[in-house]
Amino acid sequence: MDITLLKQVASTSNKIALSTALNSEADVKIVNFVWYEDRPDTLYFSSVKTSAALKTYDQQPDVAFITVPNDGTPNNPYLRAQHVQLRRSEKTMANLLPRYLETIPNYQQVWDAIGATLVVFELKLTDVFVDGGVGQKKETLHF
């Protein structure tokens, strides 16, 4: 599978707008994420252990998301997926911290403030729409 465009677009963002719904109540949260080229069908994010969102994540794991381009990124490239399976990850924040520090500016401050309270989640993709931006290539990848 050629993931060249996916790599290109994923490198332009470190945040997603994560859409959930429980009991017909929709909600959207902006969360930081990390991604690894050798696991192109998985995005990782974290949430505070005491967050009310965890109840929603556990009860309704069918979610949608769209990436939010980093400030100054031209042409508005993005990744978008629906019917993504959200689940608790076996990975820990300690496992993912090097990648967070590499891809998210000032993440050390977040880690220092709340790192011990974070629990990791995975977003497992079956399909992802990859839009390289205005006038650029677009494709849907199937995993």
Q: Which pTM value belongs to this model?
A: 0.95
pLDDT at 57: 95
CB 85 within 8 A of CB 62: yes
Report the pLDDT value the prediction gives residue 64, as an integer from 0 to 100.
98
Tokens of 4: 């060249």
Question: Strands 78-88 and 138-142: what pairing?
Answer: unpaired
Please give the average per-residue pLDDT across 99-111, as a whole number: 97
- Give the number of other Cβ atoms within 10 Å of residue 78's Cβ: 21
In this structure, CATH architecture of domain 4-142 = Roll (2.30)
Question: Across 23-137, where does the E strand assignment appear?
Answer: 25-32, 34-35, 42-48, 62-69, 78-88, 118-124, 127-131
What is the Cα–Cα distance from 31 to 46, expressed in whole angstroms? 8
What DSSP state is assigned to residue 7? H
Instruction: With cut-offs at 50, 70 and 90, classify the pLDDT of residue 109.
Output: very high
Please write the tens of the pLDDT for every residue from 59-95.
Answer: 999 999 999 999 999 999 999 999 999 999 999 999 9
Residues in Cβ contact with 82 at an 8 Å cutoff, skipping those fewer than 6 apart? 64, 127
- Residue 29's alpha-carbon distances to 23, 53, 83, 94, 137, in angstroms, are 17, 9, 16, 23, 28
Q: Using one digit for the tens of pLDDT, what is the confidence trace for 44-58?
A: 999 999 999 999 999
